[in-house]
Amino acid sequence: MRLLFCGDLVGRSGRQALFDHLPGLRERLAVDFVIANGENAAGGFGITKKICQEILAAGVDVISGGNHSWDQREALGFIDGEPRLLRPQNYPDGTPGRGSGVFPAPRGRKVMVLNVMGRLFMDPLDDPFACVERSLARQRLGGTVDVIVLDFHAEATSEKMAMGHFVDGRVSLCVGTHTHVPTADTMILPGGTAYQTDTGMCGDYDSVIGMDKAVPLARFTRKLPTDRLSPASGEGTLCAVYVETDDATGLARRIEPVRAGGRLAATSFEP
């Protein structure tokens, strides 16, 4: 199976990068299934029902979340009715929504998507490793599902790398989100799991992690209260990872970084 995982969509610029480049990527790479992290999609903070519908209509199969999942309060009211919109699985019991799901893919195949949030320098949620262990006990790669994708939304590279090795051989792709900068460690781990510490963002890189530069610079240089952060509005770069899996085992055969548009150097490879 051929997968495309798109990093955090930051504001209008990030959404537009997705709308501009995803159709061509789906066609050129013959992608079977697309996941995108949408926790920053609405003005850089959270997601609305309208934006969620637009992202799904653009060709995304599942939208994952993170620590900004509830920044738009309306998400609390519609997430239960949209199974394709995930929030981190390790939120406490009773939190609206769900953190994982099994979704249909072409030719009768099944894709499990699992969204979990780290705890280092983040909110003190339930143990993400124990959460992942329980989730993987319910589905078996190459057995009950054909592909398993883990979006680990975390701050610390050490925690992300530890999670990659923790699930190696048990998921198809373990990929990090949240820090908005694509890392250069795209690889297949020894057990066959595709891995990248952070996918990067879909957004304007003439910015401070997607936000207009003026307010972050004032905060760093003067340590004074400032206006609210707002997303940068220049041309966005779509940052993603492309993965091919083995149909028999569900493990990765190939992983490639993807960058299109905006300020970052574009990638080009043959599927």
Q: What is the pLDDT of residue 269?
A: 87
| CATH number of the domain encompassing residue 127 | 3.60.21.10
At 240-266, the pLDDT tens digits run 999 999 999 999 999 999 999 999 999
- In this model, does residue 270 exceed pLDDT 90? no
Q: Give me the sign of the Cα torsion angle 42, 44, 47, 53.
A: positive
Q: What is the pLDDT of residue 225?
A: 74
The DSSP H or E segment spanning 2 is strand 2-6
- In this model, does residue 203 exceed pLDDT 90? yes
Q: How many CA atoms, within 13 angstroms, populate the side-chain half-sphere of residue 261?
A: 23
Q: Residue 75 contacts by C-beta under 8 Å, 6 or more apart in sequence?
A: 46, 47, 48, 49, 69, 85
Average pLDDT over residues 145-163: 98
Q: Residue 111 contacts by C-beta under 8 Å, 6 or more apart in sequence?
A: 1, 3, 33, 61, 62, 102, 103, 104, 105, 145, 146, 147, 148, 149
Give the active site residues. Answer: 68
Q: Is residue 269 part of a domain?
A: no
- In this model, does residue 271 exceed pLDDT 90? no
Q: Is residue 266 part of a domain?
A: no
At 58-99, the pLDDT tens digits run 999 999 999 999 999 999 999 999 999 999 999 999 999 999
Task: Indicate the Cα dihedral angle 14, 15, 20, 26, nearest 10°.
Answer: 100
Burial 72-94, CB ≥16 within 10 A → b, else e: beebeebbeebebbbbbbbbeee
Q: What is the pLDDT of residue 141?
A: 97
Q: In terms of residue numbers, what domain contains 57?
A: 2-260
Q: Is residue 109 part of a domain?
A: yes
Question: pTM for this one?
Answer: 0.96
Q: Is residue 80 part of a domain?
A: yes
At 208-239, the pLDDT tens digits run 999 999 999 988 898 877 788 999 999 999 99
Q: Is residue 265 part of a domain?
A: no
Assign 148 a pLDDT band (cuts: 50, 70, 90).
Answer: very high
Q: What is the pLDDT of residue 226?
A: 77
Q: What is the pLDDT of residue 19?
A: 98
Q: What is the pLDDT of residue 91?
A: 96
Q: How many CA atoms, within 13 angstroms, populate the side-chain half-sphere of residue 194?
A: 28
Q: What is the pLDDT of residue 196?
A: 98
Q: Is residue 116 part of a domain?
A: yes
Q: Is residue 20 part of a domain?
A: yes
Give the total number of structural domains in the chain: 1
Q: Is residue 87 part of a domain?
A: yes
How many residues are listed for the chain in this entry?
Answer: 271
The Cα–Cα gap between 233 and 212 comes to 8
Across the chain, mean pLDDT equals 96
